[in-house]
Structure 1
Amino acid sequence: MPPAGHGISAEHLLPASLLDFLACATPHAWLEWAMAHPQTLLIDHAQCEKKAASTAMNLLYRYVDQPLLLSKMSQLAREELLHFEQVIKLMEKRGVAYHHLSASRYAEGLRRHVRPNDPERLIDILIIGALIEARSCERFARLIPYLDEELAQFYRTLVKSEGRHYEDYLLLAGRQTQAPLDERIAFFVACEAELISAPDTDFRFHSGVPA
């Protein structure tokens, strides 16, 4: 399906730092897959917003001794729940019923590498959070030219907020240690790129390409 055309490319919507952070762009095959499954795209998008809020809340409960983390995660949780509500309203307007979908292998594929003890555990979770937010932001931007105007406008607003979320996660990760994080970040960036590029049997917002 050719792009509908909304006048702005993904590269112009996304900050250069985010594009540099991710090792690869979303493959075009995933975009075509998304356009073939518009209802699943919205349903899984809603689930992703809910999971992002849950991750933030879990961090709020676990790390009560970190004021900056508490502030950033409380704001992030509020925004993710608002996005969830907005997606649900869009789905209702379009006659899309919300139901449970099985998770993609994406988040679990990243989280299985999390180290067991803090502060390393928290550092890994925050780096993964940054990658999930950055990839979400990149996918929103790349979808925009293919969407109707209402959904495209909604995704434009998400690009801005998800970009801030990825930066907040990286900021918090850097606060956990005096040691450089470049090597650990590079490890997860490579894992993320492999998950995005590998074949998947089921379409999801963070799936790879169709098998």
Structure 2
Amino acid sequence: MSYSELLNPIKSFLKCETPDEWVEEAVKSENFSMLLLDHLICELKASQSAMYLIRKYAVDKESGDALLDWLKPFERFVYKREGNWRELAAKNKLSKSIIPKSTSPYGQDLIDKMVLLIKEELHHFYQVLEMMEHYGIEYRSITPSRYAKGILQHVKTHEPDTLIDKLICGAYIEARSCERFAKLAPHVDKYLSDFYISLLRSEARHYQDYLELAQSISSVDIAEKVEYFGQVEADLIQSPDNDFKFHSGVPIGSSKTVITQP
């Protein structure tokens, strides 16, 4: 399947395309390091979000602790600057099988989908570090963007709506990431372009997994919720934003002058 075929359902799912002004800002040389740094953090955040769902809704403490141990080397690297990033690829593995607790109503499907997603996101985290090494970009701490918080603040506070809403939010975040990989690919060098296309291919399934889980948990059709969060997401993407990040909105004061990346 071509990447354009993978992208068509994603474009149909999202309520808007990434504005040209964001793409123009993204490919300026002064924003190149931020693009990769924020992408790196997004991969870790996606892993953490999926792990939170498993630990909160599906497993006992022993399995939850094993999940936490899985993520610790990656979190230590980001938050404490500890460890050699080249060793992280070998640490992307679980120490034990994760099975649902008997009291969980959500079952093995949530665990299976989220564990696979975590493995893939952590692999992509390592790949982004390889890209940073290739382009001579050192890791540094950055502030979070408004995007994920802006979507999640609309999540209901009672169950099972909280879980359903978070899964729908996850679907939109994953879909937007894929759409932006495709938007960026024609404007960067072949090395980075090939990487973005490979991510699009591997991550195109993620948003569908989130949606399928949300519908399987809900006792009613989730179409109205999906529509609601789609508009919330589109508003964030289309509104002015003075903080350039991978998922930021329309850059305030952006010019039409595009500078080639280093």
Query: Is this a same-fold pair by TM over 0.5?
Result: yes
Hey, what does 2:17 align to over in structure 1? 25
Which of 98, 120, 128 is matched with 1:87 structurally?
A: 128
> Which residue identity is paired with 2:126?
E
Hey, what does 1:4 align to over in structure 2? none
Q: Counterpart of 1:191 in 2: which secondary structure?
A: helix
Matched, 1:178 2:219: yes
Matched, 1:44 2:58: no
Larger Rg: 2
> Which residue identity is paired with 2:168?
I
Q: Counterpart of 1:180 in 2: which secondary structure?
A: coil
Q: Does the aligned pair in 2 maintain the 1:13–1:141 contact within 8 Å? A: no
Task: Structure 1 unaligned segments of length 5 or more: list them.
Answer: 1-7
- C-alpha distance in 1, partners of 2:27/2:9? 28
- C-alpha distance in 2, partners of 1:195/1:13? 26
Which of 193, 196, 205 is matched with 1:164 structurally?
A: 205
Instruction: Spell out, residue by residue over 1:15-59, the C-alpha distance to the aligned partner (whole angstroms, 9 max, x if none).
Output: 322111101000000001101111110000000001001011111
Query: Which 4+ residue blocks in structure 1 deviate beyond 4 angstroms?
Result: none
- C-alpha distance in 2, partners of 1:93/1:149? 13
Q: Name the % identity.
A: 47
Matched, 1:101 2:142: yes
- C-alpha distance in 1, partners of 2:113/2:201? 16
- C-alpha distance in 2, partners of 1:100/1:125? 26
Cα offset for 1:178? Answer: 2.4
Normalising by structure 2, we get a TM-score of 0.75
Normalising by structure 1, we get a TM-score of 0.93
Aligned Cα RMSD in Å? 1.2
- C-alpha distance in 2, partners of 1:130/1:47? 18
How many residues of Structure 1 are paired with residues of Structure 2 in the alignment? 202
Instruction: Spell out, residue by residue over 1:149-197, the C-alpha distance to the aligned partner (whole angstroms, 9 max, x if none).
Output: 1111111111012210001000000011221111111100000000000
Hey, what does 1:210 align to over in structure 2? 251
Matched, 1:128 2:120: no
Q: Does the aligned pair in 1 maintain the 2:7–2:179 contact within 8 Å? A: no
